[in-house]
Structure 1
Amino acid sequence: MSFGGSCILTGIGALAYKFDRNQQFERLPESDVLLNKMNTDVYRKKLQQLKIRIPRSLINYFKDFFDGTSHLYPIKGVIEVTANVKLYSVPMLTIFTSYSIMYSLVSIAYWATITPMYTAGLLFLGPPGLAIAIIHTFLHTNALTLMFMRMSHLQSALVKRTVTFKNYQSVSKTKPIKFYVPILTNYFWFYYLPKKILKYTSGLFVFLGLMGVCSIPVIGPFLYTLAISPFISRIYVSNIYRLRGMTNKQRYDNFLDHLGKYTVFGIYAGVLELLPVISGLALTTNSVGATLWGMDDEE
């Protein structure tokens, strides 16, 4: 449960969100390309887009990282929730209760299976080794719990409440579009499927590497949080972007073009979530902060 269970629940949460019914599915326009046009209309086009995107993303990264204001929004989320406790109390209690249950389940499994291995491996340090094993247990179980809690998107109702309270006018009246690629197309078999296989295979190795980093006693969870900071932001802000009517492609393009903003927000949000229990509250404040960010970040 401590590791495998967290991964399974995280995957289920991601799939549930990805195929949420509160969006309309439309066929990707370019997916009807003919086989003899794949080279010119797909491969060369994608390569040209990549040549443009990489330098643009690098330039924007440093600009957004050092000159942006996204780092302020996790703090704004804390201020907003503190100033309006009655408004946010019910969703905050729901999220915190869910976090507490999940943290307890993960902790029980972790203490029974993994903590003894850390304790045995650090015995040569004496009492300090035992202290390190215990501290790491609390931090590591918290990181595993947050994997699921972020991807569960239990914060969706909280985002809508924030939008209503702030009288935000840019909420789309139609469901956001999610483009899909039909399986019986040349585009699917000769581009989309190979791309997805490469993406998820490399992603699996990266994920296992990150889990290895997170397993380093005490400092591992800190390094892990820094490494995934852009993706923390992407998860949090996706709800408000959906409410704004942004398609899945637009959200992905925004993520790549402004990776610096996502990194900074994720670092600050991740720091608030590092400590157990406090992170159960930070899930609410970070969600509100990301909503405020998404409301202000209209381009």
Structure 2
Amino acid sequence: MAKYWLYPFKGMSYLVWTNLFWREATLIFLIYISKFVLIAILYYLVLFPFVLGINTVLLGPLGVTVAVVHSVLQVNLYASNLTRLSGFEYATIMFEKLVDSRADHVALVSLIYLPAVQPMIVKPQRHWSKSIPIFIIKTAIRLANYFCLFVISMIPIVGILMVKFLRSGVIGYQYSMPYLAMQNPLQLRAGDVFYRELGKYIAFGISSGLLEVLPVFSGLNIVSSYLGRGLWLLDETRTVQSGHS
């Protein structure tokens, strides 16, 4: 389990020492920059006066510096989240290039695109009188979760790290979504897939989340984390391949 936290760093090394992914890296970085600028404009119009006021009251003149640094980190937090979700298409392209660059790519492809799980038994749908209350409860819980994360993210500087840590499992899962789609584990519900490999997602998400903390560099770190997730899948595929041989 411990090795999974290394994959984002392996992806960074692979990105630096190869020139296969410059096009996708550039496009993802431009997506990140565009989202960063747009969110920054909204943030400084809506939230920054509040953040500046609170930090100035609590910390005096030092609060101005803390408010500026925290604001940049918080804008980067939102921009990274949106960029990560917007990069699925490019992650798929990068993985195809990654597989094609391997000598055993034919065997890898035949294994990677096998269904990852067995079909699940489809349960009958609930009546609307039961579905609506359940939907309302789930939505309320989700909104409460987002609100709590937002409040935590308002804690100067440290709050950003806390949010990254608390969402590490989700971050790892989001990086995995394009690769899970390739393997066709679509017979399982998203929650089943998430909790089945939660420990791995947390380990991967902690490292990739910390790499995303750095503003501007986050755009490239997202690329390297996608590559790292691809290397993870290749290693697992080779394990299956060696088990079959």
Pairwise same-fold verdict (TM > 0.5): yes
Q: After TM superposition, give the deviation of residue 219 of structure 1 in Å.
A: 0.9
CA contact (8 A) 1:123 1:129 kept: yes
Equivalents in 2 of 1:123, 1:197: separation in Å? 39
Name the CA shift for 1:112/1:187 in 2 (closer, same or farther; >3 Å).
closer
Equivalents in 2 of 1:162, 1:77: separation in Å? 11
Cross-structure match for 1:87: 20
Alignment gaps of 5+ in structure 1 = 1-63
Once the two structures are superposed, the pairs formed by residues 1-299 of structure 1 within 5 Å of their partners are 64=1, 68-84=2-18, 86-124=19-57, 125-152=59-86, 153-154=88-89, 155-166=91-102, 167=105, 168-169=108-109, 170-172=111-113, 186-187=125-126, 189=128, 194-247=133-186, 249=188, 252-298=191-237
Q: Give CA deviations for 1:61-101 in whole Å, capped at 9, x if unaligned.
A: xxx4xxx31111011101111121x2110000000011011
Percentage identity across aligned positions?
A: 26
Q: After TM superposition, give the deviation of residue 188 of structure 1 in Å.
A: 5.3
Cross-structure match for 2:243: none
Larger mean CA deviation between 157-166 and 284-293 belongs to 157-166
Equivalents in 1 of 2:9, 2:162: separation in Å? 21
CA contact (8 A) 1:229 1:264 kept: yes
Q: Give CA deviations for 1:95-130 in whole Å, capped at 9, x if unaligned.
A: 001101110111122122211221122223232110
Equivalents in 1 of 2:81, 2:127: separation in Å? 30
Name the CA shift for 1:75/1:217 in 2 (closer, same or farther; >3 Å).
same
Equivalents in 2 of 1:252, 1:164: separation in Å? 32
Q: After TM superposition, give the deviation of residue 258 of structure 1 in Å.
A: 2.6
Counterpart of 2:82, as a letter, is: F
CA contact (8 A) 1:171 1:245 kept: no
Counterpart of 1:82, as a letter, is: V
Equivalents in 1 of 2:162, 2:232: separation in Å? 25
Q: Secondary structure at the match of 1:122?
A: helix
Q: After TM superposition, give the deviation of residue 159 of structure 1 in Å.
A: 3.0
CA contact (8 A) 1:177 1:245 kept: no
Q: After TM superposition, give the deviation of residue 227 of structure 1 in Å.
A: 0.5
Equivalents in 1 of 2:36, 2:141: separation in Å? 29
Name the CA shift for 1:276/1:178 in 2 (closer, same or farther; >3 Å).
farther
Q: Secondary structure at the match of 2:185?
A: coil
**Larger relative contact order (CA 8 Å, sep ≥ 6):** 2
* Corresponding pairs, count: 229
Cross-structure match for 1:43: none
Equivalents in 2 of 1:114, 1:102: separation in Å? 17
Backbone CA RMSD of aligned residues: 2.8
Q: Secondary structure at the match of 2:207?
A: helix
CA contact (8 A) 1:103 1:145 kept: yes
Counterpart of 1:122, as a letter, is: N
Q: Secondary structure at the match of 1:87?
A: coil
Cross-structure match for 1:28: none
Q: TM-score, normalised by structure 1?
A: 0.68
Alignment gaps of 5+ in structure 2 = 241-245
Q: TM-score, normalised by structure 2?
A: 0.82
CA contact (8 A) 1:103 1:141 kept: yes
Name the CA shift for 1:109/1:248 in 2 (closer, same or farther; >3 Å).
farther
Cross-structure match for 1:48: none
